[in-house]
Amino acid sequence: MNIKMPRTLQGQITSSLILALVIVGTAFVSNIAGVAQGDSVLTKIFLVFFGAIIALQVVPGLILIGAMIRGLTTLTRKEALREANAKK
């Protein structure tokens, strides 16, 4: 498997933020007070796995929200350009 790292600064920042979000989300869900009362190792592994799944589900949602906001801003720019060209 060949994984390409982003070359731009914006791509590197985005990748770093996604990685940080997954790590923080996993730690948050697995350390909720009173949840990890069991002494077995399998219980803790399951909770960390569950936390990683929840954190990974947040990432596509944030990407979609960012794309939606970007689309809305470009839409208003296109309308402003059309109006400016229509006035000429």
Mean local confidence (pLDDT), 39-43: 73
The phi-psi region of residue 25 (left if phi > 0; otherwise alpha if psi is between -120 and 50; otherwise beta) is alpha
Label residue 49 by pLDDT band (50, 70, 90): confident
Greater pLDDT, 40 or 39:
40
Please report the pLDDT score of residue 1 as a whole number.
47
Mean local confidence (pLDDT), 44-58: 80
Sequence spans of domains, the chain: 19-87
Label residue 2 by pLDDT band (50, 70, 90): low
- The secondary structure of residue 77, as a DSSP letter, is H
Mean local confidence (pLDDT), 3-7: 62
